[in-house]
Structure 1
Amino acid sequence: MGAYNVRTLTYKNQTQVRFFKKPIEFDKKRVRANERKKKTEEERTQFDIDLSIRQSMRRTKDKIWNICLANDWEYFVTFTFNPKIVNSEDYDDCSAKMSKWLMNVKQICAPDLKYCLVPEFHSDKKKFHFHALMSNLGDIQLVDSGRRKNKGTKIIYNILNYRLGFSTAIPVNKDSDSQGKIVGYMLKYITKDLATLTQGKKRYWYTRTNCEKPVIDTYLIESDKLEDFTEALENDKSYRKTVSMPFSDNELKIYNFDTN
């Protein structure tokens, strides 16, 4: 049976180290997942349903974070929908139209387009729109909207090729701190409401052909040495947080280190 209590993820411009107070055992994770699958809909309690949604949200956020930080990006893009063209209150319609637009634009004018795209459920609890990080826009046409960001230093563009509604594209700084903040902004909208509405459906899109993934390694360190290990990293960290894992009676410490 395999186990680990330290997990490292190496991204484009940073490394993240995750320390678990108690080891994570691979076989136990599979057993718990299989036990949940065996329950019928009638047997599932509200606790089971809430736990499933939380875990699904965490997996979705982890995957988006991993993809976004493992790649370089040029623009942060927002896509909204014209209600005369797309039913912005219907997630399936929004997803289908957005997917088709991405497929068409890659085929016609940006064959090397790279993106990671996520939905946002409006605060009105009715409509959806999408956010994306993008690179390699090829012949996708950007036009100056006349608006500025960051005290006038950044042009806010519109995408002429996008005709499903309104769009903005803002240039992204290359440093890991700026890109990390944008990814954090995108993840903020992966909420319980969104996870509930999108159960069994896609919650993010990315180009599998040219999006890199982080390098992931796991280690098992003796528990009496684990605290000494984390203390030794304190001076070099760029970010740290502690996450309680009550459902598994565990605790996770996350450390980020800039590598550029």
Structure 2
Amino acid sequence: MNSDQFLTSDDDKNMTYNTKVTDYGNGIVEIVKRNRDSMKMKEGYRLSEAELELRRNAILNADKSEEAQKARTQAQHFQIKKRLKNKILCNDFDWFVTFTFDDSHKQVLDSKDYDCVKKLLSNWCSYMRKLNGGQFNWVFIPELHPTSGRFHWHGLLQDIDIFEFQEAINPKTNQSIIRDGRPVYNLNNWKFGFSDCQRLTNDEHKEKISSYVSKYITKSLSEGTTSSMYKKPRYISARGMKQPDVTYITTDENEYAHLSPTLAIIDKTEVGNSLDLAIYKQHIDPETGLDTTISVDSVYKLKEEVTPWT
């Protein structure tokens, strides 16, 4: 639940805005512009006791219908995927990997136990980071095998000097494994099961990588009602990774007229259609500061057809 919706009118504590600008620090900028003002608390302030009481009452009196519960779940999923996207877009990764767990290994107590494999994977990542002098970016997403009930994890890794990769060999043909035109590797440092690794190429845009990984987080979220995944983290990641710079400003209707929105939400009313929300993507050359944004085909959706934006 967004606490900003419980703010009272207080010019000293609160600010109004209609545009949210997210700068990922590498030339990628996302702009979300609404056709109406929203209110946000300024940095350094907290909800008052009256505002906290409003929030508590809203939770107690929330619509308990199945439809309302579904809408809240979708909003939560959106926020989880947004946080994961921020980590991927802000930080550098070199490998896309899949790790499995072998129950015959003495340290793998139970590959069907989420907490067990999560702890083992987290400890391994922490150890790799320690060996690399405290520097190592990583993100992992769990996936539950539909028939065996075992967990495996998909992830993004920063390349570090201690990693030992070797080409994966097809045991039937004794030939190197090639998938989608690129070689597959095994990571010798992963001792607890099977590893499947592919190097990310320099021309693969971060947004493409983010979208690719998002399909796994979407699947993980859909498994959230199963007993083994209920209320479990949908991804784990290294601490201390870069975060985007987010600013909230007020802009006029012509501010981004030179850009084509990647997504536009249309509000259909009795007096006609209006643009309720637009999302723009800018690409700024980090060296020259020039706008290198390429025009894209816009996607238009009716407001009632989309998950509420929070």
TM bin (shorter chain): 0.7 to 0.9
- Judging changes above 3 Å, is the alpha-carbon distance between structure 1 residues 128 and 25 closer, same or farther for their aligned structure 2 residues? farther
State the identity %.
21
Shift of the 173–88 alpha-carbon distance from structure 1 to 2, 3 Å rule, reads same
Tell me, what secondary structure is at the counterpart of 2:184?
strand
Residue identity matched to 1:259: I
Q: Find the counterpart in structure 2 of residue 80 from structure 1.
A: 100
Which amino acid letter does the alignment assign opposite residue 163 of structure 2?
I
Unaligned residue ranges in structure 2 (runs of 5+) = 1-13, 42-46, 169-175, 268-274, 286-310
**TM-score, normalization by structure 2:** 0.66
| 1:229 and 2:255 matched | yes
SS of the equivalent of 2:259 reads helix
Residues 50/174 of structure 1: CA separation in 2 closer, same or farther (3 Å cut): same
Q: 1:109 to 1:14 in 2, by over 3 A?
A: closer
Deviation at 1:134, TM superposition (A): 1.5
Structure 2 residue 179 is matched with structure 1 residue 149: yes
Give CA deviations for 1:51-77 in whole Å, capped at 9, x if unaligned.
332122111111111111012221112
Q: Could you tell me how far 1:184 is from its partner in structure 2? A: 0.9
* Aligned partner of residue 186 in structure 1, secondary structure: helix
Is 1:39 the counterpart of 2:60? The answer is yes
Q: Give the structure 2 partner of residue 137 of structure 1.
A: 160
Matched residue, 1:54: 74
Are the structure 2 counterparts of residues 139 and 243 from structure 1 closer, same or farther at C-alpha, using a change threshold of 3 Å? farther
Partner of 1:118: 141
Output aligned runs, 1:1-260, within 5 Å: 1-11=14-24, 12-26=26-40, 34-35=55-56, 38-39=59-60, 44-84=64-104, 85=108, 87-108=110-131, 111-122=134-145, 124=147, 126-145=149-168, 146-151=176-181, 154-175=182-203, 177-191=204-218, 192-197=221-226, 198=229, 200-209=231-240, 211-221=241-251, 225-226=252-253, 228-234=254-260, 240-242=262-264, 251-260=276-285
Greater CA radius of gyration, 1 or 2? 2
Q: Specify the code of the residue in structure 2 equivalent to 1:2.
A: M
Partners of 2:61 and 2:101 in 1: how far apart? 38
Structure 1 gaps of 5+ residues are none
Question: Does the aligned pair in 2 maintain the 1:65–1:183 contact within 8 Å?
Answer: yes
Q: Report the AA paired with residue 171 of structure 1.
A: R
SS of the residue corresponding to residue 82 of structure 1 reads coil
Q: What displacement does 1:122 show? A: 4.1
Alignment check: 8 A CA contact 1:77 1:168 kept: yes
Q: Could you list the per-position Cα deviations for residues 162-185 of structure 1 after superposition, in whole angstroms to 9, with x for gaps in the alignment?
A: 12221122111234x533222112
Three-state SS of the structure 1 residue aligned to 2:163 is coil
> Please, which moves more after superposition, 30-39 or 103-112?
30-39
Aligned residues: CA RMSD = 3.2
Structure 1 range deviating more: 112-121 or 194-203: 194-203
After TM superposition, the score normalised by the length of structure 1 is 0.77
The answer to whether the 8 A contact 2:17-2:248 is kept is yes
Secondary structure of the 1:216 match is: strand
Q: Distance in 2 between matches of 1:50 and 1:83?
A: 36
Query: Which structure's residues are more often helix, by fraction?
Result: 1
CA shift in 2, pair 1:123/1:230, >3 Å: farther
Residue type at the aligned position of 2:31: V
Contact 1:148–1:156 at 8 Å: present in 2 too? Answer: yes
| Cα distance change on mapping 1:142 and 1:14 into 2, 3 Å | same
Contact 1:76 1:169 in 2 (8 A): yes
Residue 160 of structure 1 deviates from its aligned partner by: 0.8
CA distance in 1, matches of 2:235, 2:129: 17
Contact 2:91 2:137 in 1 (8 A): no
One-letter code of the match for 1:143?
Q
Contact 1:110 1:139 (8 Å CA) reproduced: no
User: Corresponding residue for 2:297?
Assistant: none
